[in-house]
């Protein structure tokens, strides 16, 4: 095949054919009276109110559902893992005294006590407290956990404790 030749094929036989029908234009010759022109805007005004009422009911439902959510995925600092209850209670007391805005959580799975503190939504917030807590508990680590939303909002920035 030489580079100068062009490919040509007639595809008109397979192309779909459509009949074009001119749309009919209907002109209305109604007199413009003030009574009729007032009715038209009133009907249009009612429609947005109907939409707004539906929208408000949907938003209220969503707000109720959101209020029902108490826990989210967040972070806590684990400060103690061991078999001695007195040490777990001591860690809990230390947090109450040194960081009153952090809530300690003591869990017991035989034979181990775990003490976790705080309800942090963001890891960066937990890291600020981690440096301060490591002064007393060097083995403290940040763990992912389910946290209480309301308590996480009450946690003050760690910079207040310096």
d(CA 144, CA 119) in angstroms, rounded, equals: 10
Residue 1 has pLDDT above 60, yes or no: no
pLDDT tens sequence across 74-90: 898 999 899 988 998 99
pLDDT tens sequence across 116-145: 998 888 888 888 888 888 888 888 899 888
In this structure, what token pair is assigned to residue 149? 């939303």
Q: Give the global pTM.
A: 0.55
pLDDT at 101: 84
Q: What SS3 class is residue 40?
A: helix
Residue 152 has pLDDT above 80, yes or no: no
Residue pair 148/71 in contact (Cβ under 8 Å)? The answer is: yes
In this structure, what token pair is assigned to residue 118? 């705080």
Q: H or E segment at 41?
A: helix 34-68
Q: Which homologous superfamily is 71-161 in?
A: Sporulation related repeat (3.30.70.1070)
Instruction: Enumerate the domain spans of the chain.
Output: 71-161
Q: What is the mean pLDDT of residues 32-51?
A: 54
Sign of CA dihedral 39, 41, 44, 48: negative
Query: In the structure, what pLDDT confidence band is assigned to residue 47 with cuts at 50, 70 and 90?
Result: low
């Amino acid at each position: 095949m030489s580079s100068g030749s062009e490919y040509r094929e007639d595809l008109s036989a397979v192309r779909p054919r459509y009949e074009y029908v001119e749309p009919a234009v209907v002109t209305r010759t109604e007199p413009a009276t003030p009574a009729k022109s007032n009715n038209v805007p009133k009907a249009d005004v009612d429609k947005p109110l109907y939409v707004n009422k539906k929208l408000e009911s949907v938003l209220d439902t969503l707000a109720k559902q959101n209020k029902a959510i108490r826990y989210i995925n967040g972070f806590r600092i684990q400060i103690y893992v061991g078999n001695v209850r007195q040490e777990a209670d001591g860690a809990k007391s230390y947090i109450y005294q040194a960081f009153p805005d952090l809530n300690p959580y003591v869990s017991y799975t035989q034979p181990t006590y775990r003490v976790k503190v705080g309800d942090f939504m963001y890891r960066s917030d937990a890291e600020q407290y981690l440096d301060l807590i490591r002064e007393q508990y060097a083995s403290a680590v940040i763990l992912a956990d389910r946290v209480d939303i309301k308590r996480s909002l009450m946690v003050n920035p760690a910079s207040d404790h310096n």
